[in-house]
Amino acid sequence: MSQPSFGGDGYQTEQELRRWSADIAAKAERYQSMQAEVARVTVTESSRDDVVRVTVDATGAVTDLVISDKAGEIPGAELSTLVLTTMRRAQSKISEQVAEAMQRTVGDDPQTVAAVVGSYRERFPEPEDDAQRPTDSTVDEMRLGRVDDHDAEQTRPDRPRRPRPDDDGDDWGGSSILR
């Protein structure tokens, strides 16, 4: 969009201002259309074994989560990992759909397209490869709740005792009352 040229005759200046104003209005309309299209973006991903299906919106928020009955055969920790992995895969595909929406609406502004799509890619990166993720055999177990006295004695280190001097130089005549 070029700037209007001022300083010519009044009629030409008025025409330039009208053209410039129309260009700005058209650009604003395209950007509103882009914003509406991006807001409608959704991505659905399924786990490899179809136990989990997750749908996310353009903000990355989960809008639908379906867990099949086969999930009852999977340990809880593994199911949690499956849900999160599937969600992250869906989120990582948001930027592709945002890029498509932006190309359709404001593709003539490559700097804006690159900046917006880049921010989506930064916010929702490609998930780690499953081979790099820890397996159940490498994850330590964490328990919450009350520890049995027997377990507590085995895990509690012996505290060294502070030596007691016979005379600590005060007039209290013996050991500290704080011990």
Nearest-angstrom CA–CA distance, 120 and 123: 5
User: Pairing between strand 42-46 and 62-67?
Assistant: unpaired
**Domains in the chain, ordered, with CATH?**
10-130 (3.30.1310.10)
> What tens digit of pLDDT does each residue of 36-75 get?
999 999 999 999 999 999 999 999 999 999 999 998 889 9
Report the pLDDT value the prediction gives residue 9, as an integer from 0 to 100: 78
DSSP secondary structure letter of residue 5: P
Output the pLDDT for position 156.
54
Task: Report the distance separating Cα 59 and Cα 95, nearest Å.
Answer: 10
CB 4 within 8 A of CB 17: yes
Which pLDDT score is estimated for 151? 53
Q: Letter for the amino acid at 95?
A: S
Per-residue confidence (pLDDT) for residue 128, from 0 to 100: 76
pLDDT at res. 127: 85
Q: What local confidence, expressed as pLDDT, does residue 169 receive?
A: 57
Label residue 82 by pLDDT band (50, 70, 90). very high
Average pLDDT, the chain: 80
